Amino acid sequence: MQQLLYAAEVSLNGLTTGVLYSLVALGYVLIFKSSGVFNYSQGVMVLFAALTLVGLQRGQVPFAHLWTAMFGTHTYFFGWTLAPAIAVILTLGIMVLLAILVERLILKHLVNQHPIILFMATIGLAYFIEGFGDLLWGSEVKKLDIGLPVGISETVEAWTAEWFGYGFFIDRLDLFAGLVAAVLVGLLTLLLRYSQLGRTLRAVADDHQAALSVGISLRLVWVFVWSAAGFVALVAGIMWGAKSGVQFSLSLIALKALPVLMLGGFTSIRGAIVGGLIIGVGEKLFDFLAGPIIGGATENWFAYVLALAFLMFRPQGLFGEKIIERV
Amino acid sequence: MRADRQDGLPTMKIRDSSAIGETLLSVNNIEVIYNHVILVLKGVSLVVCEGGITALLGGNGAGKTTTLKAISNLLKSERGEVTKGSILYRGQTIQDLSPAELVRRGVIQVMEGRHCFEHLTIEENLLTGAYTRKDTKAEIRNDLELVYGYFPRLKERRRAQAGYTSGGEQQMCAIGRALMSRPETILLDEPSMGLAPQLVEEIFTILRNLNEQEGVSFLLAEQNTNMALQYAHTGYILESGRIVMDGSAKELRENPDIKEFYLGMSESGRKSFRNVRSYRRRKRWLR
């Protein structure tokens, strides 16, 4: 019984982590679905969004190290702090600006090129944003605090203690992130499924040339999806940043998003969510059950093994769009 | 070989034919180069008149698709470029307009090979055609019914994913989608491609109805010369990037060269390839 309750607690923790994986995976899905580009830079966008948010909120001087090196100014802070809400809105504005620049400087010139070329371009973009983010805001580890609930949720602990005689330890931030992600996903699904914009996005995803031919402006669509991906990156950045601090390793959660995508399918928002949850719960449970036997540290590879298994039996993922082939 | 052939070639008199109105689109001596090196069109001129069906005929690689894409400006996204000549629509230069702007002005292309949005339903496909319109939902709904009126098969399959429909249905879907933009001129690229003869006939009949009842003008690129000349008013023959012949559909149908080389009919039985070569040598360049 005790073991079972432990397992339940571990799974719950897995679920909340999984939601965060889903959030990152969502960014990939949005761009892939509507432009057929696998955006390698999504993970770095998460980092960049979080860095920018912290920088704006703390009133950091942009390029402070650069100015110091050139002119010896040594001013790193303006000396003000912004309200979290304002900082979030400003950051969102910057992510939209980034989307516009990406379209202007990169995508516009690569219309109708082979997907692999666009993929290579996003690799370049990833390294650029990474370096640019460091230059802009400095590379030290920063604390992100915009007043999100933190700590162990006593309510959950009290409830579960009452019901099962064993108090679950669940982080409040995780609960909150789960809620936010759920709402976000719901909205995005509705938008894509039923709105005219959603239809346009799906049309572009299917056939660039045909979309052009009916008068759809690819450029507008791309700015929109990259902005949306920027927004999702910001949300993911806030949650992960609040959890583990804003630093380079934040961009590595992209590595966790990959198996999520393989599992859930690159083109399905639902898939990103369910995939994230499966991997979140799966890796925690596996570590709990099999970890002691094989010596632990399974969390790093379990997701990939699971994804590989999926690739063998269902290459389009759980909810991915079937490749339509008429015979 | 007939001696009168040189004189027997049709001239441009079709333009004042009573069935068709004033000039909508005129392509003047354009040259198209892909990737800065590959010369595909070497001076193509043609005229599309209001309310007419103009056929652009020719074999594989003659430059039909390129001509249409040069007009609709889809060429730019394929690294092609109009390097010489001009394209006018209602007297205005349209070479620098985006495809979207052209659709707003009433010129839309239906691409070769259908290009439906596979994962969208037929109805969603049709609705994307109305992307550039600012009309109310009711008006668009209305046009949707109009399209279903012309293509009853599409109505039956409205909820099916386009990728799973038959080739004919996809072709109808692509044409219907273009209609949803309320076009004045449709640039239609090989509607007969890969379809059964009966289906081709069905589609061409619908095109004629659209032309007569909705007043849509067509520039129709086709390899199926026989079918196209039955339905078109005027025609141009394109060969290796040049217009080699033009005239009213009737004149072209009766032209001995066309009969022989495009319609496969000959008064003197089967021809050897030597004659094909001699034809090529003596063919007249219009420009």
Instruction: For A97-134, write each residue's pLDDT tens digit.
Output: 999 999 999 988 887 678 889 899 999 999 999 999 99
- B78:A215 CB<8 A: no
User: Which residues face B235 on adjacent strands?
Assistant: B55, B247
Contact B27, B71 (CB under 8 A): yes
| pLDDT value of residue A51 | 94
Of A9, A13, A30, which Cα lies nearest the Cα of A273? A30
Sign of the dihedral through C-alpha A277, A279, A282, A284: negative
Q: Note the pLDDT tens digit of each residue in B194-240.
A: 899 999 999 999 999 999 999 999 999 999 898 999 999 999 999 99
Q: Note the pLDDT tens digit of each residue in A49-84.
A: 999 999 999 988 899 888 888 888 888 888 888 889
Distance from CA of A212 to the nearest CA of B (A): 6
The mean pLDDT of B181-185, rounded to a whole number, is 94
Q: Note the pLDDT tens digit of each residue in A132-162.
A: 999 999 888 888 888 888 777 778 788 888 8
> What is the identity of the amino acid at A157?
E
The mean pLDDT of A18-39, rounded to a whole number, is 84
Contact B122, B177 (CB under 8 A): no
- Find the residue in B nearest to A210 (Cα): B115
B74 in contact with chain A, both atoms CB, cutoff 8 A = yes
Which residue among B108, B124, B164 places its CB closest to the CB of A213?
B108
Quote the percentage of chain B above a pLDDT of 70. 85
Residue B10 has pLDDT above 70, yes or no: no
Chain B residue numbers with beta carbons less than 8 Å from the beta carbon of A212 are: 74, 77, 99-100
- B110:A212 CB<8 A: no
- Residue ranges of chain A whose CB lies within 8 Å of a chain B CB: 111-112, 196, 199-200, 202-203, 205-217, 321, 324, 326
3-state secondary structure of B286: coil
- Find the residue in B nearest to A217 (Cα): B100
User: H/E element holding B108?
Assistant: strand B107-110
Q: Is A72 left (phi over 0), alpha (psi -120 to 50) or beta?
A: left
- B100:A206 CB<8 A: no
**Distance of alpha carbon A187 from alpha carbon A198, whole angstroms:** 11
Could you identify the residue written with the tokens 């389009």?
A: A316
Of B176, B166, B28, which Cα lies nearest the Cα of B88? B28
- A213:B127 CB<8 A: no
The pLDDT-based confidence of B280 (bands split at 50, 70, 90) is: very low
The mean pLDDT of B65-86, rounded to a whole number, is 91
The pLDDT-based confidence of B275 (bands split at 50, 70, 90) is: low
Residue B16 has pLDDT above 50, yes or no: no
Of A229, A281, A238, which Cα lies nearest the Cα of A17? A281
**Distance of alpha carbon A227 from alpha carbon A96, whole angstroms:** 5
| pLDDT value of residue A64 | 87
- Find the residue in B nearest to A109 (Cα): B77
Which residue among B72, B120, B178 places its CB closest to the CB of A202?
B120
**Distance of alpha carbon A122 from alpha carbon A99, whole angstroms:** 12
Chain B residue numbers with beta carbons less than 8 Å from the beta carbon of A199 are: 120, 124, 127-128
- B164:A324 CB<8 A: yes
| pLDDT value of residue B11 | 39
The mean pLDDT of A91-96, rounded to a whole number, is 96
Quote the percentage of chain A above a pLDDT of 90. 25
Residue B118 has pLDDT above 70, yes or no: yes
Q: Which residues contact A131 (CB under 8 A, 6 or more apart)?
A: none
Chain B residue numbers with beta carbons less than 8 Å from the beta carbon of A205 are: 119
Contact A49, A42 (CB under 8 A): no
The pLDDT-based confidence of A325 (bands split at 50, 70, 90) is: low
Mutation pick from B71, B77, B116 vs chain A, by most beta carbons of A within 10 Å, is: B77
| pLDDT value of residue B204 | 95
In chain B, where the domains are located: 5-105+216-282
- A213:B116 CB<8 A: no
Mutation pick from B76, B118, B135 vs chain A, by most beta carbons of A within 10 Å, is: B118
Which residue among A200, A209, A217 places its CB closest to the CB of B74?
A209
The mean pLDDT of B159-167, rounded to a whole number, is 93
CATH 2.60.40.1930 is the classification of domain B5-105+216-282: no
In chain A, where the domains are located: 2-313
The pLDDT-based confidence of B247 (bands split at 50, 70, 90) is: very high
Q: Please state the ipTM of this predicted complex.
A: 0.81
The pLDDT-based confidence of A33 (bands split at 50, 70, 90) is: confident
| pLDDT value of residue B279 | 46
- A324:B117 CB<8 A: no
| pLDDT value of residue B12 | 40
User: Which residues face B110 on adjacent strands?
Assistant: B188
Q: Note the pLDDT tens digit of each residue in A161-218.
A: 888 777 788 888 888 888 888 888 788 888 888 888 889 988 888 888 899 999 998 8
Which residue among A112, A203, A217 places its CB closest to the CB of B77?
A112
Distance from CA of A236 to the nearest CA of B (A): 29
The pLDDT-based confidence of A312 (bands split at 50, 70, 90) is: confident
